[in-house]
Chains A and B, each alone.
Chain A
Amino acid sequence: MKAGQSVFATVSNFLSERFPVEHMNFQHMVEKKDVPVHNMSWGYYTGGLTLFFLMVQVVTGLFLLFYYQPTVSDAHLSVEFINKHVAGGALIRNMHTWSASCMIFFAMLHLLTSFAMKAFEKPRELTWIFGVLLLFLTFTFGFTGYLLPWNQIAVNATKVGLQSVEAVGEYLPGALSQLPHILRETFQGEASVGQSTLGRFYALHVVLLPLALLGLISLHLLSVQLHGMSRGVDQPTKKSERFFPFFIFKDLSLWSIVFLLLLILAWCIPFDSFLPYPLLAPYNALGSTPAGIKPEWYFYFLYYPLEMLPFWLILLATGLAVLVLIFTPWIFKGTSRKTLGLITVLASLYLVVMTVFGEQIYHMVKP
C-alpha cells in the first residue's frame, strides 16, 4: 500500500485490476480472445470439461428430484424405485454418479494443470482462489450427496466423516475448539445421523451448495473471460487460435465425445457394482456396522493417510495444504514453471498412488 492511500482505494484498485470492467464486452470477451497453442494446450480443455460435467449433474439431478424422497423411511426405497421402475431412471442415476466422479476428477486435473501453467499469475489471483473454493465446494457436494441413498455405506461413512470433523476440535485452541463440535451438531441435527441429518444434507446438496456454486462459478468464468487464457508457458508462443469460433468448435466436439463415453459408462456399468452389495443394503440403525466402510474414491488421498498416520499430523498437513492452495498466487509468485511442473508431477503421483494403491499400502502398513 502506498503512503497516503486509503485501504478503500487499495482494495478498489486491486479489484478493478482483477475485474477490468472496460473489457466487459462481446468483442473483448469472445471475438478478440485468443488461445495460445503449445504443448500444454490440452490443459485449456480441463476447465470446460469440468463445466460440462457440472451441467450433466444439474440436468440429471433435476430429473432425480422428481422421484427422490429425503426421509429415512423412503430414501432408499425411492432410489430403488428410480433404478427399477422409472423409465430411464437407472441410466439417469448412473449418469449422475458417474459424472459426479468425472467432475471431481476434472476439477482436480484443472487445478493441477492451472498450477503447472502458472495460471494464477497477476492479475488472475482471484480466478485461482475462486477455483480453489469451487474445488472445495465440489468435494462438499460429493460428501452431502453420498448420504442421500441412505444405504449402509452412505450412513456409516457419513458418521465417520462427521466424527472426524468433531475430532479436529481437540487440536484447536480456546473457543475455536468448540467450532467443529458446533459444525457437527449443525449438520447432524440430532444425537446420531438420522432424519435431521438427511434433511439438512439434502437441503445443502440441492439448494445451498448449488447457489454458492452458481455465484462462485459466475465469478470464476467472468474473470477467465475478462483476462483471457493465461500464457501457460515461459516463452510466449507465436501460434494461437481464435477462441471464437475455433476453440469453441473443438470444445464442443470434445464434449460430444465425452458425453458419449459417459453414456456408455452409465448404460453399461452401474456405479453401485463397484461396492460389495451388503454395503448397498438399506441402513439398519439396530444392526452392526458392516465391514468395508470407506468414503468415495476421491477422498482416498486423505482417508488412507488418516487410517495410517496420527490424526494431528494429517490435520496439520491438510491445514497447510489448504493455506498453500489459497495463497498460491503469492507463495509461488517468483517460481518458474519448470519448478511448478515438478511440484505438480509429485502432487499428481501422490494422488494417483493413494487413490489406486491406498488400500494395499494400508494393508502393508497395518496387516
Chain B
Amino acid sequence: MSAPQEHSGASLAFHIEGLTKVYEMGDVLVHALRGVTLDLYEGEFVVLLGPSGSGKSTLVNILGGLDNATAGSVNFRGEDLTDEDESALTKFRRNHVGFVFQFYNLIPSLTALENVALVTEIAIDPMTAEEALDIVNLTDRSGHFPAQMSGGEQQRVAIARAVAKRPDVLLCDEPTGALDIKTGIVVLEALKRVNETLGTLTVVITHNAAIAAMADRVIYFADGNIDRIEANDHRVDPSEISW
C-alpha cells in the first residue's frame, strides 16, 4: 500500500518500508506489524488511529528507537535506523525524539521543573526548563511533585519534558487516554502549540477518533498494517473537539 503524498512541499522525515515486528509470547508468535510502508514529513501532525493490538504503539516504539524491527527498514532523514545498536539508538532518541506516554511516566521523586530539567541537562540545544513549562502553561506549577498535580497537569509536564530538547519528532502514545475531556483538550492544545511553534513532526496514537480532526493526516491501523490514510483539508482546533 502506498501513502498519498499530501505534503509535497515538506521534506521527508521518516521513510518506513516493509516494517515487520514479531513478538514471541511464550509459545505464541504475535505479529504486531506486518510489513508497514509509510512516509512521514517534517512538521506535520499525524494521528494514528486503530483498535488495541493493531500495531500503532509498536510502530511508534520502533520510530522512537525504543525497539528494533524484525524485518523491513526505517530511515530517518536519510539515515538507516534499522540495524543500529543500542548506543546509536540512544543517541538518536537523545538528540531527535520526544516521547509522551499515556501514563505520563514522570519521575515521582522530581518536581515538574526538575523532570524537565532532567532532559535539558543531557540535550544538545535545549530550551530552558522554564521555557518548556511555559509552552504548556505550567510555569506556576514548576515546584510541584507529580503526586501534587492533576493528570492533565502531569501530562503537560510530560509534554514540556518531551519538547524541551527541541526534538525533531514528538511521539505521543495515547496522551489523553487517561484524561477526561476537559483536561484532554488542554493537553491537545499544548501539543498543537508545540507542533505549530516549533514545527515538530508530531505523531499521536489514539483510540479516540475525534482527535483525528486536528491532524494533517490520519493513519488508520488494523491488524498490524495500515488500513487507509486520510488527509484533512481543514485542521480543527482542539477546543472544537468533543467526545
Does B associate with A? no
Give residues in B with beta carbon < 8 Å to A. Answer: none
